[in-house]
């Protein structure tokens, strides 16, 4: 991991108010994926949502390379990892948003990305508050270009 990428990940995790103990887990999982992914990992995203009382719950951890996406499901409590190709196989995308203009997130913003792959896999990535801006970037960088292939 380059120093710049490590700083980028750290800044992102801090921006979404992730506690330090969970941040350490993110870096441990990154090291695992770094060993098995045949490409350089270029982006990270944490699926989150807000409980009824407004507290943030972190759910799944995603890493992205040029051709692959990696998901650590329930990453805080489990070691459940997958890796799949994304290049040229994204077949479906649905974006649901609430209080989000696709420009700048607010405290009330929410967004969910549902996507399907030609290999009959469907996934969901969701975000709340400022994390919506990060998910927007993931959508634009990894999903839109692969949907159009």
* CATH at residue 14: 2.30.29.30
What's the mean pLDDT in 13-25? Answer: 95
Residue 19, domain extent: 3-147
Give the number of C-alpha atoms closer than 13 A to the C-alpha of residue 29, restricted to the C-beta side: 28
Domain count, the chain: 1
- pTM of the complete model: 0.84
- Partnered with residue 72 across adjacent β-strands are 61, 81
Task: Render pLDDT for 102-140 as a digit per residue (tens, 0 to 9).
Answer: 999 999 999 999 988 777 777 888 999 999 999 999 888
**Beta strands in 9-80, from DSSP E residues, in sequence order:** 43-50, 56-64, 68-72
């Amino acid at each position: 991991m380059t120093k710049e990428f490590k700083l980028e990940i750290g800044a992102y995790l801090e921006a979404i108010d992730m506690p330090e103990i969970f941040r350490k887990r993110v870096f441990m999982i990154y090291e695992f994926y770094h060993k098995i992914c045949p490409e350089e990992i270029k982006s990270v995203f944490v699926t989150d949502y807000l409980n009824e009382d407004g507290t943030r719950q972190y759910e799944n951890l995603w890493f992205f390379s040029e051709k692959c996406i990696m998901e650590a499901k329930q990453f805080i409590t489990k070691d459940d990892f997958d890796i799949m190709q994304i290049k040229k196989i994204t077949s479906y995308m649905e974006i649901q948003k609430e209080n989000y203009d696709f420009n700048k997130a607010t405290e009330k913003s929410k967004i969910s990305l549902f996507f399907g792959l030609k290999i009959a896999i469907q996934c969901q990535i969701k975000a709340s508050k400022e994390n919506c801006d990060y998910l927007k970037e993931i959508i634009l960088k990894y999903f839109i270009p692969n949907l159009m292939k």
